[in-house]
Amino acid sequence: MNIAVKGVTNHAVDRAVERIGISRQAAANHLKQLMTTARYIGAGNESKNRHIFYHDKSNVSMVVGKNGYVITCHKGEMPMRFVDMQKPYDIVALPSELLSAVKRKANALLRAYTKDLRAIERQVAEIELKIAQCNVKKLRVHNPETKALIDGKIAYFRSVAGELTDKQAELQQKKDEVSAHV
């Protein structure tokens, strides 16, 4: 995003002298020159329609108003983090208090998913044990009707195990999604 710079405010000149260390006479032209190759970082305060630009080589950030005037400048990183408009869900741009709260909530979700996954794994193991016991009973029995009943139980247990395995895969996917962002 390029904004045509119409001028530089007196405040921006004062800040350039103070923060960047250039002479007052050269400050306005210097900031205009930096704006020609500065890259767009994001929007500032939405109610004031300000845009943030950053010049990589000189390590200078500039705030430009909607009227096209450079309002202020900072040496180095901006004192406040701004959300990049190309990445509206950038978690790094959150204040540290919110970021730590999000991480706590994500870790709580991970613990809950892990607990649920272990419970499902235990249930699947118990069902597989029942299937194995039914297979042993089936080998001991000679009556075809009893074998058919045992086959029905085995089919039922396998369907339950399949449902649990699907639920386990779904939970694992949710856990992976959360852990990818922590």
Model confidence pLDDT, tens digit, residues 40-66: 887 765 556 788 888 888 888 888 888
Percent of the chain with pLDDT over 70: 86
157 — pLDDT class (breaks 50, 70, 90): very high
Which of 75, 103, 132 is where one domain is finished? 75
Q: Any idea what the CATH number is for the domain that residue 164 is in? A: 1.10.287
- Look at residue 80 and tell me if it is in a domain: no
Instruction: Mark whether 32 and 107 lie in a shared domain.
Output: no
- Read off the pLDDT of each residue in 139-158 and give the average, rounded to a whole number: 95
Looking at residue 2, the DSSP 8-state letter turns out to be -
Residue 62: CB atoms within 10 Å: 25
Residue 81 or residue 99, greater confidence: 99
Instruction: Mark whether 109 and 65 lie in a shared domain.
Output: no
Range of 50's domain?
A: 7-75
Structurally, how many domains does the chain consist of?
Answer: 2
Strands (E), 28-68: 39-43, 51-55, 60-64
- Read off the pLDDT of each residue in 114-120 and give the average, rounded to a whole number: 95
79 — pLDDT class (breaks 50, 70, 90): very low
pLDDT value for 93: 60
Residue 17 or residue 91, greater confidence: 17
Instruction: Mark whether 98 and 150 lie in a shared domain.
Output: yes
Of 177, 48, 58, nearest to 113 (Cα)?
177
Of 106, 108, 110, 105, nearest to 171 (Cα)?
110
- Look at residue 88 and tell me if it is in a domain: no
* Alpha carbons within 13 A on the beta-carbon side of 63: 23
Q: Any idea what the CATH number is for the domain that residue 21 is in? A: 3.10.450.200
Instruction: Mark whether 69 and 33 lie in a shared domain.
Output: yes
Instruction: Mark whether 64 and 132 lie in a shared domain.
Output: no
Instruction: Mark whether 66 and 121 lie in a shared domain.
Output: no
131 — pLDDT class (breaks 50, 70, 90): very high
- Look at residue 85 and tell me if it is in a domain: no
Average pLDDT score over the chain: 85
